[in-house]
Structure 1
Amino acid sequence: MNSIEINEGEQRRAFRSAMDACDFQKMLPDRLFVGPWSGFLFFQSDYVFSPDFADIMREIMDLEGAKVACLLNLDKTETVEFDGAASLFIDATMDGAAYQERLRAGGPAVGWLFDVNRYVCASDVGEWCIYCEKSNDVAVIGLREPDGRKKFELPLEHLSAKPIEDLIEGGRSPLFPFDRLVPDWREGLVDHYGLGAWDKR
């Protein structure tokens, strides 16, 4: 039995934060985040599906005072309604083993760990949002507050999340060669998510 009860209202707020953060008719490298954002950091999508992700989420939520984060499988969600969405909720009681169990549920045929879908993750407070395209091995976290990078410094470090310019110009990360992106992707990501890009809105 969980020692901390997360009420449905908090789950609904996290779900709404995730749904309202992006225009899901678009895909990277286009600008799909909507509303006010102060900056974006990129990392490999594999981090979202690692056991450590639950711990990183708890770190982030603790720093912003959130109770729960909603991870949505966009390609398995056919409705914008809470009750019909393909969602997974991460709270203070979920550890890495439980998170992996949820991702593997149903085995290779239907388990989220095995598919190559698109995902979005946000909390009931909503100071950040992660958008992930597993098929492209790319994830991006949007931060709403100007001091977001400093506030979430440690968990962002655990995600190896960096500005797109750093990843393109600073050599390759071990699993995904950001510096070898095709020109359209390089230009699109820098234009839409680079440093200062949101000053041009």
Structure 2
Amino acid sequence: MKAEKTLPLLQVFSWIIYIGISIKTGTIIISYLVSVFINPQASADLGLSLDLSSLMEFNLLYYHFMLSWVIVIWMLKASIMYQVIQIFNKLKLVQPFTEEVYSHIYKMSQLALSTGLLSYGAYTFSRWISKFGVDLSNLQEFISGRAEFLFMAAILFVISQVFKRGIEIQSENELTI
């Protein structure tokens, strides 16, 4: 299959993933706000099978801290997908090495690094809280992927550096022609 046909299909999939992540993030945010301001029992069902009622009963500050971490992690995941969409909008197969594409890939590497580090921090914090007998078993789905995001950050950083060098070579070739 040619790239001209594959890229629009991948762009559609990227939009679908972005919308799904955004909905999941919005669900967590709204459920969190409801549990804090309207009904504390809502912490038992924060949407998407996330139950942090035991954490809320154990320590309200830890509850706010953990959910803030989860929300930021999911916002970063949505931001990564938005950068992917932006790359599809800016990518031209005739001249693929542009500053705009490089900038989006570099931003993605930074976002992936942040996501991995925050996920690792949230995982470590949840393990520490679990030592006090607080059940956080269903939280792992929402803070997982720490190693994968760190690995993705490294790969994206290398790709961004290749794009940066490609831009340099492309501009040198334009000057010599």
Query: How would you bin the TM-score normalised by the shorter chain?
Result: under 0.3
Bigger Cα Rg: 2
> What is the TM-score with the length of structure 2 in the denominator?
0.27
- Structure with the higher fraction of residues in helix conformation: 2
